Structure 1
Amino acid sequence: MDVCVIGGSRHFGRRLIGELRDAGAVVTVVNRGSTPAPEGVTHLLADRDDEAALRTVLGGRRFDAVVDQVCYSPLQAAVAARVFAGRTRRYVLTSTVEVYAELGRPGGPAVPEEAVDPSAGSFDLELPWADGPFLEDHYGEGKRQAEALLTREASFDVAVVRTAHVLGGADFTGRLAHYVERIERGLPVVVHPVPQPASFVHEPEIARFLAWTAAADFTGPVNAASHEALEARQLCAAIGGVTGAEPKLTTGPDELLSPFSFDRCYAMDTGRASRLGFGFSPVADWLPRVIKEARDR
């Protein structure tokens, strides 16, 4: 396969590039060059928001598949739909569990893909997507609209991978480290009075799934998450089991709440991925190892 990865400079994006390369794919990475690309791949420098620059750097290249790691808005999706028309037969958009942010409810079931149908979704290119704070504040909505634009307007096949909260690897978010540090230091961890379950996925596994999706032929959205959702108290208990420190849980105002504490169900139904032939591992298989890694950093 000849695969183009847009982004891929950090976290599971770099792991994805390695997965593709080691499986024998010819890999081209397109990003702004903030970090060097892994060895054995072609590295093209361009800002994906600059349509002319993107066209120029791609030249006459054609790809079997594109994996877009850094599409956050319908504006970026529209550029991709134009630039990659005639250049690829398949486009994989890395999306997020946050597209379901308004749908979960306390005690609710795991959310299936059909809860947010990108083929019926709308998008608004006039919103200030180029404004950094606006984009950050509307992360889930930006992803929803990017999904809708690509699904409805692109001339190539589109698969959407809705990624659970990723743990492990070179995690730059510091969210798991927040828990580990506070629990080991005996500091209180602020959670909701009744935290709701959320889905997680291991960094190497989401990279494998994205590489697998690039070579597959299905279209539409698919949820990507390990089996067994966890709520914040369970995550704290797992950390306590690894560190030997007793978690001290408390409640407090929203601005003090710990990451991964939610007041609505954030669990995702992964039945479609299973039916397509990819089996995710249980959280218990990898979480203790990831906690140890976060502790040792």
Structure 2
Amino acid sequence: MEILILGGTALLGRAIAHAALDRGHAVTCVARGSLSAPNGATFISADRDDDNALALVASRSWAAVIDVSRQPGQVRRAVSDLSTRHWVFISSSNVYADFSTIEQDENAQLRPPFQGEVMEDMSTYGEAKVACENAIRASDSSATIVRSGLIGGPGDWSGRTGYWPWRFANPSGEDVIVPDDPDFPCALIDVRDLASWVITAAEQHLDATVNATGPTVPFHEVIATAARVTNSAAQPRAVPAAKLAELEIGSWMGPASLPLWIDDPAWRGFATLNTDRARVAGLVTRPLEDTLRDALAYENQRTEPRQAGLSDEQEQRVRAALDQASA
């Protein structure tokens, strides 16, 4: 197959390109920036905000086009300019309107579509992805809409999946600060598993909207797995959410945060999805242990700053406050 990837140089797009090449497909990647496509793929540098960005790939018909964009205008332009027998659009679980439900399926209520061409900031990310989905469905071709959950594993620049194994491997004290919410439902999908299944969907011309993430596991299992893959002697030290808030420690992502956890009942199901439809269609996910082990290997050689977790100084500040309160 001749596959066009609109992207192909960042975390997921690059993994998709690798998966396609490994199966013997011819791959062309269109992306902007300084990153290059994987060896074996044709790379075309273009800024998709430019009306003529797709001119070099618009004259041929593609067996499949895979798009990872979050900008409705870019997706509408791609649908208008390109010829393909099948689309695969990488959407997000952020399209859903409510996250209080655990493992909601593809029929759950969506956010209203974004009205406009350009999403200015991440506050309207879910709405923008809904608009992108609608643009893909308006094409004359079959389409796989992939509503992905949290993507992790090697290359996770955010550090959300790598933080916990890295922290157990590099403790700042005798224990590791964790939120006191052991049953919080967690789920993530290894980028390599998602990429492989995206190519399967393209090969099969799967015409469906499908959730894609890993199995739901309680937070304490994530922590235990992170400790196990590092053979760490450090023990988790559970801190109540109220105390973490008092100490200005956040959740999920960002400076001074504890990843994979959210202290809000309305968001308790955020990471989880019902993936029955995807698994029937061939999605296979590897054990969490393998993903965390490989995420740790990436953390050990990364050069860019981590976007989630606590620094040694931040964790020591929390530990000191707890020790002082109990003295």
TM-score normalized by the length of structure 2: 0.77
Residue 272 of structure 1 aligns with an amino acid whose one-letter code is: R
Secondary structure of the residue that 2:53 maps to in structure 1?
A: helix
Secondary structure of the residue that 1:21 maps to in structure 2?
A: helix
The Cα of 1:210 is off from its aligned counterpart by 0.9
In the alignment, which of 117, 125, 132 is matched to residue 115 of structure 2?
A: 125
Q: Any conservation in 2 of the 1:190–1:256 contact (CA below 8 Å)?
A: no
Q: Any conservation in 1 of the 2:75–2:132 contact (CA below 8 Å)?
A: yes
For the pair 1:283 / 2:281, whether they are aligned, the reply is no
In the alignment, which of 217, 237, 246 is matched to residue 248 of structure 1?
A: 237
Residue 240 of structure 1 aligns with an amino acid whose one-letter code is: A
Where do 5+ consecutive residues of structure 2 fail to align?
252-257, 302-327
Larger-gyration structure (1/2): 2
For residues 276 and 14 of structure 2, the distance between their equivalents in structure 1, rounded to whole angstroms, comes to 27
Q: Any conservation in 1 of the 2:154–2:295 contact (CA below 8 Å)?
A: no
In the alignment, which of 87, 98, 101 is matched to residue 103 of structure 1?
A: 98
Within a 5 Å distance, the mapping from 1:202-213 to structure 2 comes to 202-213=190-201
For the pair 1:219 / 2:207, whether they are aligned, the reply is yes
For residues 36 and 206 of structure 2, the distance between their equivalents in structure 1, rounded to whole angstroms, comes to 32
Q: Describe the superposition over 1:1-26 as per-residue Cα deviations: whole angstroms up to 9, x where unpaired.
A: 11100111122321211211221211
For the pair 1:229 / 2:224, whether they are aligned, the reply is no
Within a 5 Å distance, the mapping from 1:25-44 to structure 2 comes to 25-44=25-44
Identity of aligned residues (%): 25
Partner of 1:161: 146
For residues 220 and 46 of structure 2, the distance between their equivalents in structure 1, rounded to whole angstroms, comes to 43
1:296 to 1:103, Cα distance in 2 relative to 1, 3 A = same
1:242 to 1:285, Cα distance in 2 relative to 1, 3 A = closer
For residues 272 and 124 of structure 2, the distance between their equivalents in structure 1, rounded to whole angstroms, comes to 20
For the pair 1:137 / 2:123, whether they are aligned, the reply is yes
For residues 24 and 242 of structure 1, the distance between their equivalents in structure 2, rounded to whole angstroms, comes to 33
Q: Any conservation in 1 of the 2:186–2:217 contact (CA below 8 Å)?
A: yes
For the pair 1:51 / 2:40, whether they are aligned, the reply is no
TM-score normalized by the length of structure 1: 0.84
Residue 280 of structure 2 aligns with an amino acid whose one-letter code is: R
For residues 218 and 93 of structure 2, the distance between their equivalents in structure 1, rounded to whole angstroms, comes to 15
Q: Describe the superposition over 1:152-180 as per-residue Cα deviations: whole angstroms up to 9, x where unpaired.
A: x2222221111221221212111233333
Residue 103 of structure 2 aligns with an amino acid whose one-letter code is: A
Q: How many residues align?
A: 280
